[in-house]
């Protein structure tokens, strides 16, 4: 039996990877992009290139959207709201929880089933064991199309509120960019003494991997609010040492701005009498 038809709107690197996974997975796939030329490689694989958005969305019950941003999604979908009625949108465009909820309200107003999603993979990893995606919103729509979504990566349904998929996505990306900030700074720092980045990189990766083992412990501290149990290196000691990271960067002619924001938070926590606690407690200073 033939697999269910799928439409993919947006054919930049990620959208093209999604469409390729559907085509090679046996789904009749219709594609559309504002720049038509981007559909040619997919047409060569067997996808149907739609001439306009209306033709694209009416070709399938499942419409997967992967565009630049929230505004692009509205600019693309608003004119074809009537054609989308009784279909399902799976929106894999990066966005915020508030934007996901707004899109879900818009979809409900036009009788469209809506699932918001966050893809946790680079384009080349789509369809591999490394890829997974968060989904939230309409549970019946997710259940109906989960087999198709499985072709992209392992789907994780995180709630019928449309917002959690974006929240999970943004949270993981926040962790990634924090890691990148420290790694970029470290590689630049050793470069000031002509230490080859490629030579230093394996040491950095090994150290970061070892430090990441503490994440479940930090999660427990944050959930319980107990920053005083199981402390190995208290924040008073770490705050004192952190100044050396900043002063070394400056003395080596390197801006410390990728690291600098943590310094004042650590110092405030110590000044507030939490010096014997773990550094994890700085998250309390982030709460409004």
pLDDT value at 2 more than 70: no
In terms of domains, do 275 and 140 share one?
no
- Distance from CA of residue 280 to its chain's centroid? 23
Please state, in angstroms and rounded to a whole number, the distance separating the CA atoms of residues 42 and 29.
Answer: 9
Tens of pLDDT along 226-257? 999 989 999 999 999 999 999 999 999 999 99
Sign of CA dihedral 62, 64, 70, 71: negative
Instruction: Name the residue with tokens 């990306």.
Output: 173
- 174 lies in some domain: yes
Query: What is the predicted pLDDT for the residue at 170?
Result: 98
* Mean pLDDT, range 126-130, rounded to an integer: 96
Tens of pLDDT along 254-264? 999 999 999 99
Q: What is the pTM of this model?
A: 0.93
- Domain around 267: 168-286
Q: Which of 140, 159, 178 marks a domain boundary?
A: 159
User: Looking at residue 140, which CATH number applies to its domain?
Assistant: 3.40.50.720
Tens of pLDDT along 131-172? 999 999 999 999 999 999 999 999 999 999 999 999 999 999
Asked whether the beta carbons of 281 and 227 are under 8 A apart, the reply is yes
* Mean pLDDT, range 194-204, rounded to an integer: 97
Mean of per-residue pLDDT scores for the chain = 97
Give the residue from 134, 138, 149 showing the smallest Cα distance to 115.
Answer: 138
Structure tokens at 19: 């469409």
In terms of domains, do 231 and 122 share one?
no
* Mean pLDDT, range 2-27, rounded to an integer: 96
Domains of the chain: total: 2
* Mean pLDDT, range 173-186, rounded to an integer: 97
Q: Which of 159, 189, 219 marks a domain boundary?
A: 159
């Amino acid at each position: 039996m033939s697999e269910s038809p799928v439409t993919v709107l947006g054919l930049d690197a990620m959208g093209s990877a999604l469409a390729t996974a559907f085509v090679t997975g046996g789904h009749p796939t219709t594609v559309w992009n504002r720049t038509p030329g981007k559909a040619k490689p997919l047409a060569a694989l067997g996808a149907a290139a739609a001439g306009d958005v209306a033709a694209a969305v009416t070709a399938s019950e499942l419409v997967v959207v992967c565009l630049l941003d929230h505004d692009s999604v509205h600019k693309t979908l608003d004119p074809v709201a009537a054609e989308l009625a009784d279909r399902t949108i799976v929106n894999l465009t990066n966005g915020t929880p508030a934007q996901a909820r707004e899109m879900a309200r818009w979809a409900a107003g036009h009788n469209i089933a809506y699932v918001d999603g966050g893809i946790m993979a680079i384009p080349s990893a789509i369809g591999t064991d490394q890829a997974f995606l968060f989904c939230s919103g309409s549970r019946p729509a997710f259940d109906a199309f989960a087999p198709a979504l499985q072709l992209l990566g392992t789907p994780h349904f995180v709630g019928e509120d449309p917002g959690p998929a974006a929240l999970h996505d943004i949270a993981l990306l926040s962790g990634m960019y924090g890691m990148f900030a420290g790694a970029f700074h470290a590689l630049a720092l050793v470069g000031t003494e002509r230490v080859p980045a490629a030579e230093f990189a394996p040491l950095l990766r090994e150290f970061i991997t070892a430090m990441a083992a503490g994440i479940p412990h930090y999660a427990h501290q944050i959930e319980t609010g107990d920053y005083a149990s199981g402390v190995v290196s208290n924040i008073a000691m770490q705050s004192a040492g952190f100044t050396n990271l900043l002063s070394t960067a400056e003395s080596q002619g390197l801006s410390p701005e990728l690291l600098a924001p943590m310094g004042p938070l650590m110092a405030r926590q110590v000044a507030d009498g939490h010096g014997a606690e773990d550094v994890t407690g700085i998250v309390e200073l982030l709460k409004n």
